[in-house]
A and B are shown apart, each in its own frame.
Chain A
């Protein structure tokens, strides 16, 4: 039986594939990445496809409807989520570049994306 001391720390790639606010999935992806980090599991957060829209600056949701995802993103490093990547192809397709993003992320082209998936023990798509 494994105990917390002996259990292997397996790396997790959390993939956010949804735009913010329309559904809760983008927030769920960020929350679950923070939870992995809080339990000291090596975690990488990847924004893929429409998920890159969660990174855009200037988000101002009506307070009574939804908290700002942009503010939440600003706390990722505090929770220990330091590896954040974004799908470069999807960003370009949406007319965005690194200057439009709320936090510094690593831009990943197709080759880097394949390496990211291969480099983690588990992949969680949200």
Chain B
């Protein structure tokens, strides 16, 4: 059970594609920084597929708000604050960063 942290825009590189290739159904995915752009367009389609497979998906609220993504979040994404980020990190035995 891993917490995957997506820190870069999926439109700038292959981070989301590679994360989606290795993520397991009982893993969690947290969108952080430019990673919150995964809530948009084709990347959101990838998130929907991961969510349907069982992956829980979170996004840092502050990073969404800063980029105007907070009003565009698909229903499969739950926002968390930094305290929530810490809780997620504690709840998972390993973290995997994608940047």
Q: A-side interface residues toward B, CB under 8 Å?
A: 15, 17, 48-50, 87, 89, 110, 113-114, 116-118, 120-123, 125
Q: B-side interface residues toward A, CB under 8 Å?
A: 2, 14, 17-18, 21-24, 93-99
Is B95 within 8 A of A123, CB to CB?
A: yes
- Complex: A15 Cα to B21 Cα, angstroms: 13
Q: Which residue in chain A gives the minimum CB-CB distance to B97?
A: A125
Is A113 within 8 A of B93, CB to CB?
A: no
- Chain A residues, CB < 8 A from B93: 121
Chain B, interface SS category: mixed
- Chain B residues, CB < 8 A from A110: 21-22
- Chain A residues, CB < 8 A from B97: 125
Is B98 within 8 A of A125, CB to CB?
A: yes
Is A113 within 8 A of B22, CB to CB?
A: yes
Query: What are 12 A-B pairs at a CB distance below 8 A?
Result: A48-B18, A49-B18, A87-B18, A87-B21, A89-B21, A110-B21, A110-B22, A117-B2, A117-B24, A118-B24, A120-B94, A123-B95
A50-B24 in contact given A120-B94, A121-B93, A121-B94 (Cβ < 8 Å): no
Is B94 within 8 A of A114, CB to CB?
A: no
- Complex: A89 Cα to B23 Cα, angstroms: 15
Most A CB within 10 A of own CB, among B18, B22, B23: B22
- Chain A residues, CB < 8 A from B95: 123
- Complex: A25 Cα to B93 Cα, angstroms: 26
Is B2 within 8 A of A50, CB to CB?
A: no
